[in-house]
Amino acid sequence: MKLLRYGPKGKEKPGLLDASGAIRDLSGVCADIAGEVLSPNGLAKLAKLDPKTLPKVEGNPRLGPPVSGFTQLICIGLNYADHAAETGADIPKEPIVFLKANGAISGPNDDIVIPKNSSKTDWEVELCIVIGSKATCVGEEQALDHVAGYATGNDVSEREWQIERGGAWDKGKGADTFGPVGPWLVTKDEVPDPQALDLFCEVDGTMRQNGSTKTMIFGVKTIVSYVSHFITLHPGDIIFTGTPPGVGLGVKPSPVFLKPGQTLRLGVHGLGEQRTRTVAYSG
């Protein structure tokens, strides 16, 4: 299934994408794509529905983040060896875990706001894991039991604030609109191998990133298990799993960063694409 949320920001309704690409309204079935709906039982109930019996949503509504009610946005840093190399960093021996402010999340096609006084805003296409059931200290062999599905994400980053301003990476990751997720949540039954997904990012029509999750240092099972030993995962929590090479910071001889008025198109194979534009901070 492809589950989504549509409508104005803060007033999104639950929906699903049918085989023809039309949005079907789930409001009569569930209040939101959150909590128990993301559990194995909850997803099984939705899977039994005939989409044709659900109201068809007309037009082209805004899409919000595909899940709500999450407690955490968690990120894995430097999870592709070639990306670590382009940034001049060592290959990590364990997953690098950091948090992205919950307020950073946005819809897949919402504008990305270049923050006030930012000079080094960068792009990062990523595979996102969406948690379906509570996970604490789980082994790798049980890790996927706690996954509801996957989504396309963009871990937008301000490199000066992340690297040059001291302290943790979080301050360069948490600005408003720095976490576009979606367009939809694809349930794990439709993603037989999350380590075999191509992903890409274009900026103003120029291909900047073109990679595959097969080159991850730490795969999905390892990430979910590892994080669960430090942070209890809850339904709806999103884990950004790292980005392949091609970020603006890694452009040689001089890095390239985002400016207002640019267009990004990015996606993960089978999980849908995002189309966003950058705008200036307006206060």
166-185 residues labelled b (16+ CB within 10 A) or e (exposed): eeebeebbbbebbbbbbbbb
* 91 has a pLDDT exceeding 90: no
Q: Taking the model in full, what pTM does it have?
A: 0.97
Q: Where are the domains of the chain?
A: 2-53, 73-280
Question: Which tens digits make up the pLDDT trace of 43-88?
Answer: 999 999 999 999 999 999 999 999 999 999 999 999 998 888 887 8
3-state SS assignment for residue 220: helix
H-only helix segments in the chain: 40-47, 81-86, 140-143, 159, 220-228
Give 166's pLDDT tier (boundaries 50, 70, 90): confident
Structurally, at CATH architecture level, domain 73-280 sits in: Alpha-Beta Complex (3.90)
For the CA atoms of 72, 36, 26, 103, the dihedral, rounded to the nearest 10 degrees, stands at: -10
Q: What is the pLDDT of residue 140?
A: 98
Contact by Cβ (8 Å): 181, 156:
no
Q: What is the pLDDT of residue 168?
A: 83
Cis peptide leading into 194, omega within 30 of 0?
A: no
Q: Residues 6 or more apart from 283 whose CB is under 8 A from it?
A: 116
Q: What is the pLDDT of residue 276?
A: 98
Contact by Cβ (8 Å): 27, 14:
yes
Q: What is the pLDDT of residue 239?
A: 98
Three-class HEC string of 162-231? HHHCCCCHHHHCCCCCCEEECCCEEEHHHCCCCCCCEEEEEECCEEEEEEEHHHECCCHHHHHHHHHCCC
Nearest CA among 40, 59, 41, 52 for reference residue 16: 52
Cα Rg of the chain (Å, integer): 18
Alpha carbon distance 59, 29 (integer Å): 21
